[in-house]
Amino acid sequence: MTAIILVRGDITRQSVDAIVNAANSSLLGGGGVDGAIHRRGGPAILAECRRLRASHLGKGLPTGRAVATTAGQLDARWVIHTVGPVYRASGSEPSLLTSCYRESLRVADELGARTVAFPAISTGVYGWPMTDAARIAVAAVREAETEVEEVRFVLFDERAYEAFAAQLD
Ligand code: ADP
């Protein structure tokens, strides 16, 4: 059984085996969680992302997939980068958001990570409505078959925290 824990705060301040990054497919940095992780984690993370781009991820990381790098100076062993789907009112693909959580946990299992911190993927610049994103995130983790013992959702503000808390009631 994977325990689900909610924390309000900054994901870059967490002490866990793996911190999940809401990256973009370029893996070469962005704003939001991505910017914060690279700022606090230092240049080693970006250097490894560049190496991935130069080798087997030449076209970037597809939406819904996940890949691990060093965590640099963060208090974690790995950063797992995943690319959330952009929300479109005309039709978005919830299965791609589910896939981000599932694939990140699969990578965590491959690494042997037992504690994993997730942000609310796709709810920033990618625009996914928080309540729906929280529902998808919690269901994905509950349904995952994983050796991860603790999934910690790290929610940046009260609104995000409340949306996730409502899913755990
Ligand atoms: P995406 O591109 O997948 O939408 P963002 O990084 O823009 O990703 O935002 C994802 C969520 O993470 C948003 O709810 C945002 O408020 C939140 N967020 C931004 N910075 C941090 C941080 N340092 N720690 C935790 N959550 C954060």
CATH of the domain at 76: 3.40.220.10
Ligand 1 atom index nearest CA of 37: 23
Which residues fall within 8 angstroms of residue 157, CB to CB, at 6 or more apart? 8
**Ligand 1-lining residues (CB < 6 angstroms):** 10-12, 22, 32-34, 36, 84, 119-126, 154, 156, 160
Q: Which residues pair with 66 in a beta bridge?
A: 82
Question: Closest residue (by CA) to atom 17 of ligand 1?
Answer: 156
* Per-residue pLDDT at 82: 98
Q: Tell me the three state secondary structure of residue 153.
A: strand
- Number of neighbouring beta carbons within 10 Å of residue 105: 26
- Grade residue 154 by pLDDT with cuts at 50, 70 and 90: very high
Q: What is the pTM of this model?
A: 0.98
Residue among 34, 132, 157, 169 flagged as catalytic: 34
- Strands 115-118, 150-155: pairing is parallel
**Count of the separate structural domains present in the chain:** 1
Is 17 tagged catalytic? no
CA distance 76 to 88: 33
Give me the domain span that covers residue 75. Answer: 3-168
